[in-house]
Amino acid sequence: MSFKSLGLSDALLKAISKKGYTEPSPIQEKVIPHVIKGKDVLASAQTGTGKTAGFTLPILQLLSNKPSTKKRFIRVLILTPTRELAAQILASVNDYGIYSNIKATVVFGGVNQNPQVKAIRNGIDVLVATPGRLLDLHNQKLLSLANVEILVLDEADRMLDMGFARDINKILALLPKKRQNLLFSATFSKEIKELAGKFLHHPVMVEATPENTTVEVIAQKVYRVDKGMKTKLLIKLISEGSWKQVLVFTRTKHGANKLSVKLQKAGITSAAIHGNKSQGARTQALAGFKKNKVRVLVATDIAARGLDIPLLPHVVNFELPNVAEDYVHRIGRTGRAGQSGEAISLVCIDEVSYLKGIERLIKQQIEKEILKGFEPEDIPSEKKKSGGRKPPRRKFGNSSGKSSGKSRNFKKKKKAS
Ligand code: AMP
Could you report the per-residue pLDDT of 143-177, keeping only the tens digit for each?
999 999 999 999 998 899 888 999 999 999 999 99
Residues 231, 348, single domain; the answer is: yes
Q: Which domain holds residue 379?
A: 218-396
Q: DSSP string covering 360-412, please?
A: HHHT-PPEEEB-TT---TTS-GGG--B--SPPPP-S---TT-S---------B
Domain count, the chain: 2
The answer to the question of residue 401 being in a domain is no
Residues 193, 239, single domain; the answer is: no
Query: Which protein residue has the closest C-alpha to ligand 1 atom 1?
Result: 50
Residues 188, 332, single domain; the answer is: no
Tens of pLDDT along the chain (417 residues)? 889 999 999 999 999 999 888 889 889 999 999 999 999 999 988 777 789 999 999 999 999 998 877 788 999 999 999 888 899 999 999 999 999 999 999 999 999 999 999 999 999 999 999 999 999 999 999 999 999 999 999 999 889 988 899 999 999 999 999 999 999 998 777 888 889 999 999 999 887 654 344 566 688 999 999 999 999 999 999 999 888 889 999 999 899 999 999 999 999 999 998 877 777 787 788 888 888 899 999 998 877 665 655 567 889 999 999 888 788 878 877 765 555 678 999 999 999 999 999 998 888 899 999 999 999 987 655 444 444 333 333 222 233 333 333 333 344 444 333
Task: State the Cα–Cα distance between residues 17 and 400, nearest whole angstrom.
Answer: 39
Query: Which protein residue has the closest C-alpha to ligand 1 atom 10?
Result: 310
Residues 235, 200, single domain; the answer is: no
- 332 close to 341: Cβ distance less than 8 angstroms: no
DSSP state of 67: -
The answer to the question of residue 262 being in a domain is yes
Say how many Å lie between the CA of residue 225 and the centre of ligand 1. Answer: 36
pTM recorded for the entire structure: 0.62
Q: Which of 189, 185, 213 is nearest to 45 (CA)?
A: 185
Please identify, among 207, 230, 261, the residue that sits at the C-terminal boundary of a domain: 207
Q: Which of 232, 304, 319 is nearest to 271 (CA)?
A: 304
59, 90, 158, 336, best to mutate for ligand 1 pocket (most atoms within 8 Å of CB): 336
Residues 312, 247, single domain; the answer is: yes
Query: Which protein residue has the closest C-alpha to ligand 1 atom 6?
Result: 48
Sheet architecture: strand order including 180-185:
104-107, 126-129, 76-79, 150-153, 180-185, 41-44, 204-207
410, 411, 413, 414, best to mutate for ligand 1 pocket (most atoms within 8 Å of CB): 410
Task: State the Cα–Cα distance between residues 31 and 42, nearest whole angstrom.
Answer: 9
Say how many Å lie between the CA of residue 152 and the centre of ligand 1. Answer: 18
- Measured from CB, residues less than 6 Å from any atom of ligand 1 are 21, 24-25, 28, 47-53, 308, 310, 336-337, 410, 412
pLDDT digits (tens, 9 = 90+) for 191-238: 888 899 999 999 998 876 543 445 666 889 999 999 999 999 999 999
Query: Which protein residue has the closest C-alpha to ligand 1 atom 18?
Result: 21
Please identify, among 207, 226, 242, the residue that sits at the C-terminal boundary of a domain: 207
The answer to the question of residue 413 being in a domain is no
Residues 186, 302, single domain; the answer is: no
Say how many Å lie between the CA of residue 330 and the centre of ligand 1. Answer: 17
* Other beta carbons within 10 Å of 395: 15
Query: Which protein residue has the closest C-alpha to ligand 1 atom 16?
Result: 50
